[in-house]
Amino acid sequence: MSRSPSTPPTLEDVARVAGVSRATVSRVVNGTRNVDRKIQEVVRAAIDEVGYAPNRAARSLVTKRAGTIALVVSGAGEPGEEGAFASRVLSDPFFGRVASGVLGFLRTRGVHPVLMVSDTERAREDVLAFLRQGSADGALLVSTHAEDPLPARLVDAGLPAALFARPARPMPISYVDLDHQAGAKLAADRLVGRGCRQVATISGPLDVPASQDRLTGFRDAVARHGSPYVPIAEGGFTAGSGEAAMERLLAEHPGVDGVFAANDLMAQGALAVLHKHGRRVPEDVALIGFDDSGPALTCRPRLTTVRQPVEDMAAEMARLLLDHVDDPASPPRSVIFEPALVVRESA
Binding region for DNA (CB under 7 A): 7-8, 10-12, 20-24, 26-27, 29-30, 33-36, 39, 52, 54-55, 58-59, 61-63
Dihedral sign from CA coordinates of 125, 128, 134, 139: positive
Q: Which stretch binds a copy of itself (CB under 8 A): 79-87, 174-182, 250-258, 334-342?
A: 79-87
- By the rule CB under 8 A, 280 interacts with a copy of itself: no
CB of 268 to a copy of itself, least distance (A): 6
* Out of 1, 2, 3, 4, the residue judged to bind a copy of itself by CB under 8 A: 4
Please enumerate, as own/partner, the contacts of 87-90 that have beta carbons within 8 Å and a separation of 24 or more: 88/238, 89/117, 89/144, 90/117
CB of 23 to DNA, least distance (A): 3
CB under 5 to 8 A by kind: which of a copy of itself, DNA, none does 21 bind? DNA
Q: Rounded to an integer, what is the distance from CA 117 to the centroid of its chain?
A: 13
CB nearer to a copy of itself: pick between 149 and 240: 240
CB of 59 to a copy of itself, least distance (A): 8
Give CA–CA dist 325/304, Å, rounded: 39
- By the rule CB under 8 A, 276 interacts with a copy of itself: yes
- By the rule CB under 8 A, 5 interacts with a copy of itself: no
Radius of gyration of the chain (CA): 26
CB nearer to a copy of itself: pick between 21 and 298: 298
The residues, ordered by sequence, that sit 6+ positions from 34 with a Cβ below 8 Å of its Cβ are: 27
CB of 281 to a copy of itself, least distance (A): 13
Give CA–CA dist 324/138, Å, rounded: 9
Cβ–Cβ under 8 Å, residues 221 and 190: no
Letter string b/e over residues 242-251, b meaning 16 or more CB atoms within 10 A of that residue's CB? bbbbbbbbbe
Instruction: Considering only the C-alpha atoms of the chain, give the largest distance between any 2 of them, rounded to a whole number of Å.
Output: 85
Cβ–Cβ under 8 Å, residues 317 and 175: yes
CB under 5 to 8 A by kind: which of a copy of itself, DNA, none does 129 bind? a copy of itself
Interacting residues toward a copy of itself by CB under 8 A = 4, 8, 53-58, 60-61, 66-68, 71, 83, 86-87, 89-93, 95-97, 99-100, 103-104, 107, 112-117, 123, 126, 129-130, 132-135, 158, 239, 265, 268-269, 272, 275-276, 293-295, 297-298, 300, 311
